[in-house]
């Protein structure tokens, strides 16, 4: 994380940028397109996405390293409010045929539920209004490919992107590759741990968790522990947390405990831990009725949503090392001020980690119907 030290010694790298104005990242080829103001005057700032279309955003020969990615897109169309869950981001490193990253666009940037929120952390930053940034380093020796798939039931007119990377002079030995995996259980099976990732083989570091939990039952939802089964762990893990709010860096249910007063929930966004999203009204239904905008109704379909919680935890200063295998789970456990009890909530997560290749392929990606709220 000593990013300031990275510029003290020149490493013979070559800086490159891929965008809608330079889709290959070729040197001296940016800002060439002709627009309304003439040549070289911002003539091709975005691309469009047809329904069902997959577009290759980056196709880069290595060795190299992606240092920063920026995306922005509308979060709704006349066909619905879940563009951020409907667009699927995939990344492939070197010669692999199955992706190392397969995540809905919004969830990758800690914007679950198809809803925007501000995130101020070290590797993921989301700024007003919907500027999604990743600073995860993503190295590769031979090749990098990044795609976006539009599974939204409508044409997306404007999709903006910038991918900043470097070409490196030499391949690196014993390289660890960036991975991210999205999962969801709706609802979680009562009394059984929710699985973030399983079947990870090889060596590497687990570096982050994003969780979007929709509470389907009453009372406090965050009593369960995160458990990390490392290498030869079977029945019991090596690393665990003392509870969900503790794992995400908070305490006492994120609420000020005052008898005789309704508790206030505190949200926060810090470099490595955050609870940036807490909402009890479902604004994805605002201004929509039967799939079409209704200017006469602010809440045409109702907005009395269930409580939604979006949280992140980056293990960058304290990565969880594994030498052979890794499994990560979460207990969906609550507390009603009298006793602990098993819950059955709607839980989505993104697990972020680095590992040696080859990786085990992910299970089949959930369909759009399985990804959306119900």
Please report, for the chain, the start and end positions of each structural domain, with discontinuous segments joined by +: 3-371
Determine the Cα–Cα distance for residues 30 and 21; give it in Å rounded to an integer.
6
**Encoded tokens for 368:** 């759009």
**Encoded tokens for 84:** 């951020």
Burial class (CB in 10 A: 0-12, 13-18, 19+), 111: buried
- Look at residue 350 in the predicted model and tell me its pLDDT: 98
- Look at residue 41 in the predicted model and tell me its pLDDT: 83
Neighbours of 278 (CB within 10 A): 15
Q: Whose CA is closest to 334, among 323, 346, 345?
A: 345
The whole-number average pLDDT for the span 296-311 is 73
Determine the Cα–Cα distance for residues 335 and 255; give it in Å rounded to an integer.
14
- Look at residue 36 in the predicted model and tell me its pLDDT: 84
CB 67 within 8 A of CB 165: yes
- Helix or strand run (H / E) with residue 59: strand 54-61
Per-residue exposure over 15-24, b if at least 16 CB sit within 10 Å of its own CB, e if not: ebebbbbbbe
Residue with tokens 């893990």: 237
- Look at residue 47 in the predicted model and tell me its pLDDT: 96
The whole-number average pLDDT for the span 119-137 is 97
Query: From the centroid of its chain, how far is CA 230?
Result: 23
- Look at residue 301 in the predicted model and tell me its pLDDT: 61
**Encoded tokens for 263:** 């508790």
Determine the Cα–Cα distance for residues 348 and 196; give it in Å rounded to an integer.
9
Determine the Cα–Cα distance for residues 361 and 359; give it in Å rounded to an integer.
6
- Any idea what the Cα angle at residue 372 is, between residues 100 and 77, rounded to 5°? 100
DSSP codes, 142-194: SEEEEEEEE-SSS-EEEEEEEEEEEE-SS--TT--EEEEEEEEESSPPTTS-E
Q: Whose CA is closest to 55, among 147, 161, 160, 152?
A: 147
CB 230 within 8 A of CB 353: no
Length of the chain: 374
Top mean-pLDDT range of 133-142, 274-283, 356-365: 133-142
The whole-number average pLDDT for the span 190-215 is 97
> For residue range 77-117, what is the model confidence (pLDDT) as tens digits?
989 899 999 999 999 999 899 999 999 999 999 999 999 99
With a cut of 60, say whether residue 298 has pLDDT above it: no
The whole-number average pLDDT for the span 178-195 is 97
- Look at residue 61 in the predicted model and tell me its pLDDT: 97
The whole-number average pLDDT for the span 199-203 is 96
CATH label, 3-371, candidates 2.60.120.1390, 2.60.40.10, 3.40.605.10, 1.10.10.60: 2.60.120.1390
Residue with tokens 């329904």: 51
Tell me the three state secondary structure of residue 345. coil
- Look at residue 289 in the predicted model and tell me its pLDDT: 47
- Pairing outcome for strands 340-342 and 268-269: unpaired
With a cut of 80, say whether residue 286 has pLDDT above it: no
With a cut of 70, say whether residue 72 has pLDDT above it: yes
With a cut of 50, say whether residue 295 has pLDDT above it: no
Give 288's pLDDT tier (boundaries 50, 70, 90).
low
Query: To 10 degrees, the CA torsion angle through 132, 135, 138, 143?
Result: 50
- Rg (alpha carbons) of the chain, rounded to whole number: 21
With a CB cutoff of 8 Å and minimum separation 6, the contacts of 10 are none
Query: From the centroid of its chain, how far is CA 357?
Result: 21
* Lowest mean pLDDT segment, chosen from 125-129, 256-260, 363-367: 256-260
> For residue range 334-357, what is the model confidence (pLDDT) as tens digits?
999 889 999 999 999 999 999 999
Tell me the three state secondary structure of residue 206. strand
């Amino acid at each position: 994380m000593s990013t300031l030290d990275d510029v003290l010694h020149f490493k013979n790298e070559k800086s490159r940028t891929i965008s809608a104005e330079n889709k290959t990242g070729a040197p001296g080829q940016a800002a060439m397109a002709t627009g309304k103001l003439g040549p070289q005057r911002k003539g091709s700032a975005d691309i469009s996405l047809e329904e069902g279309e997959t577009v290759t955003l980056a196709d880069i020969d290595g060795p190299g390293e992606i240092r920063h990615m920026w995306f922005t897109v509308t979060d709704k169309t006349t066909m619905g409010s879940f563009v951020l869950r409907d667009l699927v981001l995939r990344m492939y490193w070197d010669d692999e045929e199955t992706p190392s990253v397969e995540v809905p666009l919004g969830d990758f940037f800690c914007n679950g539920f198809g809803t925007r929120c501000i995130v101020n952390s070290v590797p993921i930053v989301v700024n007003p209004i919907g500027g999604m940034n990743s600073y995860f380093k993503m190295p590769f020796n031979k090749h990098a490919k990044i795609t976006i798939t539009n599974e939204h039931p409508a044409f997306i007119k404007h999709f903006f992107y910038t991918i900043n990377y470097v070409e490196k002079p030499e391949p690196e030995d014993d390289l660890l590759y960036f991975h991210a995996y999205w999962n969801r259980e709706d609802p979680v099976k009562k009394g059984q741990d929710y699985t973030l990732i399983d079947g990870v083989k090889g060596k590497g570091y687990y570096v982050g968790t994003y969780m979007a939990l929709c509470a389907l039952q009453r009372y406090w939802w965050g009593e369960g522990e995160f458990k990390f089964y490392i290498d030869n762990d079977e029945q019991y893990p090596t690393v665990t947390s003392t509870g969900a709010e503790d794992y995400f860096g908070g305490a006492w249910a994120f609420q000020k405990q005052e008898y005789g007063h309704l508790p206030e929930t505190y949200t926060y966004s810090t470099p490595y831990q955050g609870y940036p999203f807490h909402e009890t009204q479902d604004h994805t239904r605002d201004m929509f009725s039967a799939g079409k905008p209704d200017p006469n109704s602010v809440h045409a379909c109702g907005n009395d949503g269930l409580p939604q919680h979006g949280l992140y935890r980056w293990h960058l200063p304290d990565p969880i090392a594994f030498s052979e295998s890794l499994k990560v789970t979460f207990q969906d456990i609550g507390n009603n001020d009298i006793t602990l009890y098993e819950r059955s909530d709607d839980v989505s997560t993104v697990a972020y980690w680095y590992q040696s290749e080859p990786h085990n392929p992910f299970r089949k990606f959930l369909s759009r119907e399985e990804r959306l709220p119900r």
